[in-house]
Amino acid sequence: MKQQNIILTGFMGTGKSTFGKRLAYRLEYRFIDTDTEIEKRAGKSVAEIFRESGEAAFRKMEQELSEELSKQTGLVIATGGGLVMNPDNVTTLQSSGIMICLSASAEDILERVSRQPGTRPLLQEAEPLKKIKVMLKQREPIYSQFNQVCTSGKDRDQIMHDLLQLALSAQSNSTTP
């Protein structure tokens, strides 16, 4: 059986990287975080890319990376939260596996991203909670099309259990030889 990729998406601070790493370990897949990979290749942080080259340049890097990763198998991919706003990226990545969207409350998101100050250029606002709520509303139609796992109000074991259930059922439903 081909090892279908597991693609974790969702808003910033919903736990994509944290749980993506754990999931990859459990499945014996390779873990890739698109932000980290882009930073490695560009030799600068996402915040620097936004500042020096602009958001459009970053989105182009995300698109190129999505195309590249969709040609590989056996990956758990944690996407940047905005990557799936480009429908081409969704089509491309979906062709390689199953998409799962992580969600969390706006308050939890703020608390989590505040632990890494300056890393989220789109949330550098006087009222970040307000911005998070606005962005969540804007993005809801996109995020809601995927399988959902909520990471608020649950312990880590429960979240891992939910993720594994989805990932394994997708693998067993797959007819890809």
Binding site for ligand S3P (CB under 6 A): 12, 16, 35, 46, 80-82, 120-122
What is the C-alpha R_g of the chain? Answer: 16
- Residue 72 carries which DSSP code? -
**Residue 64: CB minimum distance to ligand S3P, A:** 14
**Residue 136: CB minimum distance to ligand S3P, A:** 10
Q: How far is the first Cα of the chain from the last one, in angstroms, to the nearest whole number?
A: 5
CA distances from 27 to 16, 22, 45, 47, 142 (A): 16, 9, 29, 32, 27
**Residue 93: CB minimum distance to ligand S3P, A:** 15
CA angle 123, 125, 129 (to 5 degrees): 70
Residue 42 or residue 171: which is nearer to ligand S3P going by CB? 42
**Residue 92: CB minimum distance to ligand S3P, A:** 17
